[in-house]
């Protein structure tokens, strides 16, 4: 007997480096009318590097010390930013102390106790706005303002700013950069064509309005870093500064409007959106276990270009199935 089209498509997807989990998953992939892509780890390599350590005025902690404390707090996190911070401390030959009472908040950052002090590392939006506990009020306000100024300089340069706080006071702002994956731009162009955004025709009879077709960048990172990545790979629609539940809300809003969304992501922070979407694809090598478990398909070889390929394979198989 000849192999059923969907199973045959799964085999072909495998040769392109995509593991599709079932025939039903293969079928869902081709039904999508809209694509949402995560930035860090999906369009970019997800292996950011610490390009600089900035000490805000009056922080009283030197950059090396701040980086060592940040690395201590990040040791137990699997976030790409955490790996970059730990690697930067190692490269500089710093001794990284042990940490306890580690906790992390997806889309925001981590917290741990290091040498008896509370260290927080994470997004400036989450950590540098007033009301951070455990610090003296007046002093904290001034230092937070200084750190916010440094963070916006870093972000204005299109980099990702990460704040480091010790006992509620900012001691450093780390500047991170991340490279676009090879093939990301071409993959986005193919996804635009597959979702009909270029012609405005959409896919399928019920599609056709702007909100039901197209490609959007959904990211927890800051707006300027997001826009830079979007420009580099040809995306005009960007939603930045999102928490994991905001990614879910974006996916649900499109789907309530009749779209079938393909979510592409890699992180723990993407797992809820991968689950909410009509279909989800996880980037394999950098992907978190939760994202890999939740997705319909896993890109094993780490090429973003495999995403439009698998959608096209599904469409062809669906036509044959009828």
User: What is the contact surface with ligand ADP in residues (CB under 6 A)?
Assistant: 38-41, 74, 77, 79, 81-82, 104, 107-110, 121-123, 160, 162, 219-221, 267, 269
Q: Does residue 284 contact residue 300 with C-beta atoms inside 8 Å?
A: yes
Residue 79: name its binding partner from Mg ion, ligand ADP, none (Cβ under 5 to 8 Å by kind): ligand ADP
> Shortest approach of Mg ion to residue 47 CB, angstroms?
11
Q: Does residue 221 contact residue 240 with C-beta atoms inside 8 Å?
A: yes
Residue 160: name its binding partner from ligand ADP, Mg ion, none (Cβ under 5 to 8 Å by kind): ligand ADP
Residue 266 found at the interface with Mg ion (CB under 5 A): yes
Strand 279-283 with 261-265, pairing = parallel
DSSP label at residue 25: H
Closer CB to ligand ADP, 258 or 293, in the complex: 293
> Shortest approach of ligand ADP to residue 220 CB, angstroms?
2
Q: Name the nearest CA neighbour of 89 among 72, 106, 101.
A: 72
The closest residue (CB) to ligand ADP is 220
> Shortest approach of Mg ion to residue 263 CB, angstroms?
11
> Shortest approach of ligand ADP to residue 184 CB, angstroms?
14
CA atoms within 13 A on the CB side of 306: 24
Angle between helices 184-194 and 223-233 (to 10 degrees): 80
Angle between helices 184-194 and 306-321 (to 10 degrees): 30
DSSP label at residue 124: H
Residue 108: name its binding partner from Mg ion, ligand ADP, none (Cβ under 5 to 8 Å by kind): ligand ADP
Q: Concatenated DSSP letters for 170-200?
A: EEEEEEEE-PBPTTHHHHHHHHHHHTTTTTT
Within 10 angstroms of residue 193's Cβ, the number of other Cβ atoms is 13
- Rounded Cα distance, 124 and 221, in Å: 10
Q: Name the nearest CA neighbour of 12 among 277, 226, 270, 316.
A: 316
> Shortest approach of ligand ADP to residue 92 CB, angstroms?
18
Q: Name the nearest CA neighbour of 38 among 302, 263, 298.
A: 263
CA dihedral 42, 44, 50, 52 (to 10 degrees): -130
Closer CB to ligand ADP, 144 or 313, in the complex: 144
> Shortest approach of ligand ADP to residue 107 CB, angstroms?
4
Closer CB to ligand ADP, 12 or 105, in the complex: 105
Q: Which of 41, 124, 146, 308 binds Mg ion (CB under 5 A)?
A: 41
Please give the positions annotated as active site. Answer: 38
Closer CB to Mg ion, 7 or 126, in the complex: 126
Task: Compose the 220-259 pattern: x for residues touching Mg ion by CB under 5 A, - for all others.
Answer: ----------------------------------------
- Rounded Cα distance, 315 and 313, in Å: 5
Closer CB to Mg ion, 9 or 268, in the complex: 268
Residue 59: name its binding partner from Mg ion, ligand ADP, none (Cβ under 5 to 8 Å by kind): none
Closer CB to ligand ADP, 23 or 47, in the complex: 47
Residues in contact with Mg ion by the rule CB under 5 A: 38, 40-41, 266-267
């Amino acid at each position: 007997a000849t192999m059923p089209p969907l199973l045959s498509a799964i085999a072909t997807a495998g040769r392109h480096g995509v593991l599709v989990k079932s025939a039903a998953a293969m079928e869902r992939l081709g039904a999508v009318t809209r694509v949402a892509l995560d930035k860090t780890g999906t369009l970019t390599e997800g292996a950011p590097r610490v390009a600089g350590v900035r000490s805000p005025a009056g922080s009283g902690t030197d950059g090396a010390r701040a980086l060592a404390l940040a690395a201590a707090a990040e040791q137990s996190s699997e976030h790409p930013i955490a790996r970059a911070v730990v690697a930067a401390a190692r490269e500089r030959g710093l001794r990284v102390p042990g940490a306890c009472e580690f906790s992390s908040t997806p889309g925001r950052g981590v917290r741990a106790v290091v040498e008896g002090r509370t260290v927080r590392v994470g997004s400036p939006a989450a950590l540098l706005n007033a009301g951070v506990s455990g610090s003296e009020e007046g002093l904290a306000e001034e230092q937070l303002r200084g750190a916010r100024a440094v963070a916006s300089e870093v972000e204005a340069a299109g980099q990702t700013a990460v704040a480091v706080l010790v006992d509620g006071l900012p001691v450093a702002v780390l500047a991170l950069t991340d490279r676009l994956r090879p093939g990301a731009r071409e993959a986005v162009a193919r996804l635009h064509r597959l979702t009909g955004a270029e012609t405005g025709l959409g896919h399928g009879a019920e599609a056709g309005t702007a909100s039901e077709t197209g490609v959007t960048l959904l990211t927890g990172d800051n707006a300027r870093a997001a826009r830079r990545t979007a420009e580099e790979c040809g995306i005009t629609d960007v939603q930045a500064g999102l928490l994991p539940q905001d990614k879910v809300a974006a996916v649900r809003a499109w789907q309530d409007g009749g779209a079938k969304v393909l979510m592409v992501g890699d992180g723990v922070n993407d797992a809820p959106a991968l689950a909410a979407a009509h279909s989800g694809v996880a980037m394999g090598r950098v992907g978190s276990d939760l994202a890999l478990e939740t997705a319909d398909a896993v890109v094993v070889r780490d090429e973003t270009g495999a995403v439009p390929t698998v959608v096209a394979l599904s469409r062809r198989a669906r036509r044959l199935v009828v």
